[in-house]
Amino acid sequence: MGSSLLTNSSAMTALQTLRNVSSQLATTQNRISTGMRVSTASDNAAYWSIATSMRSDNAALSAVSDSLGLSAATVDTEYTALTSVIGDKDSGLTKLQALLVEAKTAGIDRTKIQADITQIQQDMKLKANSATFNGINWLSTTATTPTTFNLVSSYSRVGGTPTIGSITVTTANYSLYTSTQTGILDTAASTTSPSINTMSISALTDSAADQTTLDGYIAQVTAGINSVASAAANLGAVKNRLATNTEFVKTLMDSVDRGVGQLVDADMNAESTRLQALQTQQQLGVQALSIANQNSQSILSLFR
């Protein structure tokens, strides 16, 4: 094909190649600067859509993690108070039981023992009233206290349907005191017997009838210890479940992050190698275009 002043095929080919290399170079530089292979929907609509949904799921999981932390703090507060009410040889129901057994001793001054019992009763009530976290108290309840609490524990999504899991806590299982006196410690043993919270031995004597009354008090406190221990054990199980779920949610969030990364993150090693190759191609393209343009200059020499 002869040389033409109007159509420089070599220059057109070189320019097209250079334009293509420049486009690839811009794409590679964008991946390097953002660290992402798919940063917009135009890069890869399918992957971008999946990654966006997974990021949304991770945001929901983050909210679940925060909720689990709040729930764990609430359960821990109630659990701590329950174990404190059970007490030991120096406090709580355990000490109260020991004092009642001591009161069985003939000739003992039960008025002085009652002074200790009263202090224990008041201390247990104070601990129950103090077991409040974020306005929630399961140990000392009123008529406005919800009968159940749902502690958010998990989040999952299948297709477009999200599912939020929760742990249901029934307040009555942990109530030591209620406004209607139906709690573990303020429920009367019978219509003629007091509750653990109000029992008094000051007026009791060594008579057989009063000794029988003391036996009933001891049995009542023993049952109270078992009930409070059962409630504490139940909360301990909830506490462990929350801890397990918290760890799982954190692990799941990391897994989702890795999944998103595999979809959209750029391989920086590959991109840096590609950048050097494209820069070299660009330089060669510029030189090829320069050579093609020089062909037109050669035609001028024929007319000198």
pLDDT digit string (tens) for the chain, length 304 residues: 455 555 667 778 878 888 888 888 888 888 888 788 888 888 889 989 989 999 998 998 999 999 999 999 999 999 999 999 999 999 999 999 999 999 999 999 999 999 999 999 999 999 999 999 999 999 999 999 999 999 998 888 887 788 888 999 999 999 999 999 999 999 998 878 899 999 999 999 999 999 999 999 999 999 999 999 999 999 999 999 999 999 999 999 999 999 998 888 888 888 888 888 888 888 888 887 787 777 666 666 666 6
The closest alpha carbon to 193, from 229, 225, 221, 153, belongs to: 221
Alpha helical stretches, state H, 35-134: 45-86, 92-102, 110-130
Q: How much is the pLDDT for 291?
A: 76
Helix or strand or coil: residue 153?
Answer: strand
Q: Which residue has the tokens 């009968």?
A: 147
Q: What phi, psi does 119 have (nearest 5°)?
A: -65, -40
Q: What is the pTM of this model?
A: 0.77
The closest alpha carbon to 96, from 9, 7, 4, 185, belongs to: 185
**DSSP string for residues in 73-99:** HHHHHHHHHHHHHH-BTTBHHHHHHHH
- Per-residue tokens: 288: 């090829």
Q: How much is the pLDDT for 230?
A: 96
Q: How much is the pLDDT for 214?
A: 95
The dihedral built from the CA positions of residue 139, 145, 148 and 152, taken in this order, carries a sign that is negative
- Of the candidate CATH numbers 3.40.50.300, 1.20.1330.10, 1.10.260.40, 1.10.580.10, the domain formed by 45-264 belongs to 1.20.1330.10
Distance between start and end Cα atoms, the chain: 23
Q: What phi, psi does 258 have (nearest 5°)?
A: -65, -40
Which are the contacts of 235, defined by CB distance < 8 A and separation ≥ 6? 75, 78, 79, 82, 174
Amino acid identity for residue 32 in this structure: I
For 270-274, which contacts have Cβ atoms below 8 Å and span 24 or more sequence positions? Answer: 271/28, 271/31, 271/32, 272/32, 274/24, 274/28
Q: How much is the pLDDT for 160?
A: 76
Q: How much is the pLDDT for 213?
A: 94
Burial state string for 183-205 with b = 16 or more CB within 10 A and e = fewer than 16:
bbbbbbbeeeeebbbebebeebe
Q: How much is the pLDDT for 263?
A: 87
Q: How much is the pLDDT for 286?
A: 84
